Amino acid sequence: MSIISTNFAADFDFSHKNVILNFQKKIAGSQAVLPVAGVMMWVFWFVLPPIHPFPNGVGLDYGLWGFLPSFLREGQVALWLSFGCAVLAVYLLAELNNANVLLRVSARTLSAAMAILLAVSVPCHQAQGPGCVLMVCSLLSFFPLFTTYQLPNPMHTFMAYLLLSMASLVFPKLLWLVPVYWHIQGYFRALSFRCFLASVMATILPYWFYGGMAILTGTLDGFVAHVMTVIDVSGYEGFSLDGRDLLMFIFLVLTFILGSVDFYINRYMDKTRVRIIYNAMIIHGIAIIAFMVIQPQLFWTFLPILLVDAAVLFGHFFTLTHTRFSHISCIVWSLLAVAVVAAQYLCNEHLEFSVF
């Protein structure tokens, strides 16, 4: 009898351990994970109250964004437009996964991670800056960019840089990503001379039309100031970063690092093309983090772009790594996400951390 009891207890403990380890796997494989994350995003967007005002851009940092009618950047219309951009980004990430097979299994966790990160980033909901638009444009540019892997196609190259350049009309400093895209294409072995010329032409084209309109309308000074904004990094002087914003930055960087480290540990399990794409997204994410450090006053403008890289890397980690460490890490990550949201509502508004 004692032997039977001992065996039963051992079997129970073993099953219990399996339940703990498989809990994360069951969530990742569930078809309900994306709808639940979508509902969470909707609740955070429309049910929870707004928090502190969205930080305004410095000078002409937002380019042509300031020429949009005020009703598109304030109130309920802006809230719905930002939510529409968020939904579109979640959908595009799902299509990016399908087009490039970023996960070895059928799962919706990349889009679900994107929805959760968007929900947690409460100031992005107010859409007083072009961050959500830049996020969508960046995602769209990934489709032709990733298609150039070992295929130096000038047409796909042209489309990737054209989308980037068009988005820079509302945020000129987005052109900082042009050298990053060149580096990624070189990493893809796709930066031929023709592709390089296509990228330069695509980058110039929107500004060719913008400059022509500026000459016709007598606003050439505004056009020159817009272009000079690309190399102006003086806006950080005297700027103080809110404590809650700093907490959000730390949380997002930790999410990015967790996904990146796990990918490098287990990258041998992915196909070569997928490994190259994930490496490209890590390069892209590191560049965005560097831009946020250089221009902290534009934190909430760059942050939605970083959300894409963080969501993909964390979704890869959550879906494909099932160990005790990953289970504990995901629980801690969930608690940190709750803490970030609580901090954005409960922390003292006067708590600030100087950039200097």
Give me the residue spans of the domains in the chain. 25-354
- Which is more confident, 222 or 57? 222
If you compute the radius of gyration of the chain from its CA atoms, what whole number of angstroms results?
22
Q: Sorting pLDDT into bands at 50, 70 and 90, what band is 58? A: very low
Q: What is the mean pLDDT of residues 261-268?
A: 90
Q: Tell whether the model's pLDDT for residue 321 goes beyond 90.
A: no
The secondary structure of 174-196 as a DSSP string is GGGHHHHHHHHHHHTT---HHHH
For 129-187, how does the pLDDT look when each residue is reduced to its tens digit (9 = 90+)?
A: 788 899 999 999 999 999 999 999 999 999 999 999 999 999 999 999 999 999 999 99
Q: What pLDDT score was predicted for residue 11?
A: 44
For 277-295, how does the pLDDT look when each residue is reduced to its tens digit (9 = 90+)?
A: 999 999 999 999 999 988 8
Q: Tell whether the model's pLDDT for residue 57 goes beyond 80.
A: no
pTM higher than 0.85 for the full model? Answer: yes
For 114-135, how does the pLDDT look when each residue is reduced to its tens digit (9 = 90+)?
A: 999 999 988 788 766 788 899 9
Question: What Cα–Cα distance (Å) separates residue 242 from each residue in 53, 248, 348?
Answer: 12, 10, 10
Q: What pLDDT score was predicted for residue 254?
A: 95
Q: What is the mean pLDDT of residues 48-69?
A: 65
Q: What is the mean pLDDT of the chain?
A: 84
Q: How many angstroms separate the most distant Cα atoms in the chain?
A: 96
For 225-257, how does the pLDDT look when each residue is reduced to its tens digit (9 = 90+)?
A: 888 888 887 766 656 667 778 888 999 999 999
Q: What pLDDT score was predicted for residue 270?
A: 85
Q: What is the mean pLDDT of residues 302-314?
A: 94
Cβ–Cβ under 8 Å, residues 187 and 148: no
Element containing residue 352 per DSSP (H, E): strand 352-354
Q: Sorting pLDDT into bands at 50, 70 and 90, what band is 54? A: low
Tell me the three state secondary structure of residue 355: coil
Q: Tell whether the model's pLDDT for residue 208 goes beyond 60.
A: yes
b/e sequence 339-349, b meaning 16+ C-beta within 10 Å:
ebbebbeeeee
For the record, the structure tokens of 113 come out as: 């991670």
Comparing 74-78, 296-300, 345-349, which segment has the lowest mean pLDDT? 345-349
